[in-house]
């Protein structure tokens, strides 16, 4: 006796529902970046903020864009075989298209002495490091402890990236000096 497979329409509804939550979550963080980085240029605390352009986001997100295209095509090969309603494939492609658009929207970034701001998130410098090999047209930070899931690329115009890279190096050097400083021994 073969095990019963789940209803394909139920499974499709679950997959589309999860994708909808991801799209809404990303939209929230996309709108949050304007709250965290309200002004661009030199910041009063010694930091620097900049905004990328759509073309720079294409460079930053090229791998994700290819994955999205594959994920948009994949359901169409399975709809007929699995007897899934076509509406789920259409909804899947619609939400992936919205997600794809959100990847291409210009982003705001900022670096301060204590944090990096990217994709609506705030990262403390002790949680980040610069990748050994830096790409030519973006800055690649790595989130410590995330392994292969840790790349955090920052996009922008070359001038902005040059200024940001200098500030990032200063912030990371400061964190390393602070972490390696000898603490006074406790008195007995």
- pLDDT single digits (tens) 1-48: 677 778 888 989 999 999 999 999 988 888 888 888 889 999 888 889
Whether 153 and 60 have beta carbons less than 8 Å apart is answered as yes
Whether 112 and 45 have beta carbons less than 8 Å apart is answered as yes
Same domain, 137 and 96: no
For 41-103, strand residue ranges (E) read 41-42, 48-51
Which pTM was predicted?
A: 0.74
Give the domain extent around 78.
9-37+54-106
Same domain, 136 and 95: no
Alpha carbon distance 88, 13 (integer Å) = 7
How many structural domains is the chain composed of? 2
Alpha carbon distance 49, 109 (integer Å) = 6
Same domain, 169 and 128: yes
Q: At CA 71, angle to CA 86 and CA 142, rounded to 5?
A: 150
Same domain, 127 and 71: no
Task: Check residue 183 and give its pLDDT.
Answer: 43
- Whether 44 is in a domain gets the answer yes
Same domain, 33 and 45: no
């Amino acid at each position: 006796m073969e095990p019963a497979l789940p209803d394909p329409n139920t499974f499709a509804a679950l997959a589309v529902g999860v994708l909808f939550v991801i799209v809404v979550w990303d939209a929230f963080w996309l709108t949050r970046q304007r709250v965290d980085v309200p002004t661009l240029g030199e910041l009063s605390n010694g930091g620097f903020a900049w905004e990328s352009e759509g073309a720079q986001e294409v460079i930053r997100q090229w791998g994700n864009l290819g994955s999205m295209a594959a994920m948009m095509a994949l359901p169409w090969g399975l709809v007929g075989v699995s007897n899934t309603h076509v509406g789920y494939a259409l909804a899947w492609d619609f939400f992936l298209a919205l997600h794809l658009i959100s990847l291409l929207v210009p982003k705001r970034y900022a670096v301060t002495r204590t944090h990096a701001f990217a994709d609506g998130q705030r990262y403390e410098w002790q949680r980040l490091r610069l990748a050994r090999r830096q790409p030519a047209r973006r800055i690649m930070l790595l989130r410590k402890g995330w392994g292969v899931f840790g790349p955090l690329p920052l996009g922008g115009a070359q001038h902005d990236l040059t200024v940001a890279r200098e500030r990032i190096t200063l912030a990371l050097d400061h964190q390393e000096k602070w972490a390696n400083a000898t603490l006074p021994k406790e008195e007995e």
